[in-house]
Structure 1
């Protein structure tokens, strides 16, 4: 059995991960509407990663005898005024998710829940990668986004991204 607070936080994180997927699909829709299919594709893959994170956490709860409680997923409410806006919102969102993951880790540490800490080591590392990817994309956009040829090349690079499912063992 998991500590009640740890279980509650992980359940809340499942919803947060599904929200992340919705948010990234909204970003993808924006980019597809703008004719940037590579950017749209990149965020489609981000959405798939977030759905997989939610499912991993769901499985972790179930494997530890906990009930999974799905909550309503909020509608994304971002307004995009420039092609860079979703990129900035994405980095801000990943930093927020990192704070949530860190909160779960700390709650597990506070009650000596080593199993949850070991599981969430993976998510802590993943968040570092997510923040770096989001930041790198912003940097590339700043370098190339104002030049049509550069934007085209960056869009093509993003279109080549391939999804890799996580290999976390619960």
Structure 2
């Protein structure tokens, strides 16, 4: 829900950063896709899918771009840590099929996602010092993502 919250914040008429909104909408959809893939995998392995309550984000205001990007990389690192824990559990039980699934479906992509966010942070650090930095970065993101 955090990425969706970010997307909605940036899409607000008083904010209007549609490039950022598109980025976070895309990230939200990607995480939903990962959840679906994991659920389907569990069902293939005769497991049960239990849906729990999703905790709402701690904030719904993402006005500080630097803070938002840092929260994004923190969240991506948390996902990586959770997947690594799941991998180690599967490895402990000699479940090579699940370890392969986790690596090929999730961990490799997580590495790329973290790199992309870190590159975005580096780009922001350069642009935040310029008068139109937010506009320039938003414009770059608009070319990559549609909100």
Q: Same fold (TM over 0.5)?
A: yes
**Aligned match of 1:155:** 138
Whole-angstrom distance in 1 between the partners of 2:134 and 2:114: 22
Tell me, yes or no, if the aligned pair for 2:6 and 2:21 is still in contact at 8 Å. Answer: yes
1:99 to 58, 81, 100: 81
TM-score of the two chains, using structure 2 as the length reference:
0.89
Number of residue pairs the alignment of both structures matches = 142
**Aligned match of 2:41:** 60
**Aligned match of 1:131:** 114
The alignment's C-alpha RMSD in Å is 1.6
Which structure 1 residue ranges, 5 or more long, are not aligned?
Answer: 1-21, 164-170
**Aligned match of 1:46:** 27
Whole-angstrom distance in 2 between the partners of 1:73 and 1:107: 23
Which structure 2 residue ranges, 5 or more long, are not aligned?
Answer: none
Whole-angstrom distance in 1 between the partners of 2:6 and 2:68: 6
User: Which portions of structure 1, spanning 4 or more consecutive aligned residues, are displaced by more than 4 angstroms?
Assistant: none
Pairing 1:1-170 to 2, within 5 Å after superposition: 22-33=1-12, 34-78=15-59, 80=62, 82-122=64-104, 123-162=106-145
Whole-angstrom distance in 2 between the partners of 1:55 and 1:116: 16
Whole-angstrom distance in 1 between the partners of 2:68 and 2:9: 9
TM-score of the two chains, using structure 1 as the length reference:
0.78
